[in-house]
Amino acid sequence: MPSTRKPVIGVISCTRTVEGEDAYIVKTRYVDALAKHADAVPLICPAITTRDDADAMLARLDAILLTGSNSNIEPHHYGAASGRAPYDPGRDTMSALLIKAAVAAGKPVFGICRGLQEINVALGGTLVDQRDGAEPPELPHHAPDDASLEQMFGHSHPIDVVADTPLAAITDEPTLTINSVHFQTIGALGAGLVVNARAKDGVVEAVSSVEGPTKILAVQWHPEWQPETRFHDLAFWQALGEITRDATAR
């Protein structure tokens, strides 16, 4: 049966300049959602870049969460010739190390937006950018550049949930309306991942792991943004806690 102990979930940090100095930071909405809705203890993982440090962090964690970010993964990580700044090379390296360490240890891995993309790339998948096409995308997945923060995270569209997947079990709905704040999308799917949802234009909106010791669940949207207003986002956070507690009971 699942453990009643609060699980400890590591949250990847980004590197930003604060008061003229480099800083490791995480938006509070990710940390708060884990604590409030997953009933978990969040611990911020700095983007230091050695495998020994990643392994040592992972040994003390029950699961990891890869958050969204305004940075993109550097294109050489997924075999592309070019990409779009801003980049965060320290986070690129540390997130890949943590993902691989968690998979090797059989510990849950969760992702949101950039986090979904990091999981896909770490498992050998690729990314594409909606802005690289000759024509505007059929379904824009990002609000206009001049949108306010509220408008940006309010930009939404429907998705189709794939039956008999973890997301379907969590939400119990064939169609969801999700917010959308991204340009990059999954190209080739990473090894061991299955699609859980797609947008009407075919863009992958959620993935999970195939059967095995490591539970992976990642979404392309932002369930941490005002989750109390959407039942499926609350369900996502509750599932993260349940999956992690179940894993710690094994």
Q: Which residues are catalytic?
A: 113, 222, 224
What is the phi/psi pair of residue 66, to 5°?
-100, 120
3-state secondary structure the chain: CCCCCCCEEEEECEEEEECCEEEEECCHHHHHHHHHHCCCEEEEECCCCCHHHHHHHHHCCCEEEECCCCCECCHHHHCCCCCCCCECHHHHHHHHHHHHHHHHHCCCEEEECHHHHHHHHHCCCCEEEHHHCCCCCCCCCCCCCCCCHHHHHHCEEEEEECCCCHHHHHHCCCEEEEECCCCEEECCCCCCEEEEEEECCCCEEEEEECCCCCCEEEECCCCCCCHHHCHHHHHHHHHHHHHHHHHHCC
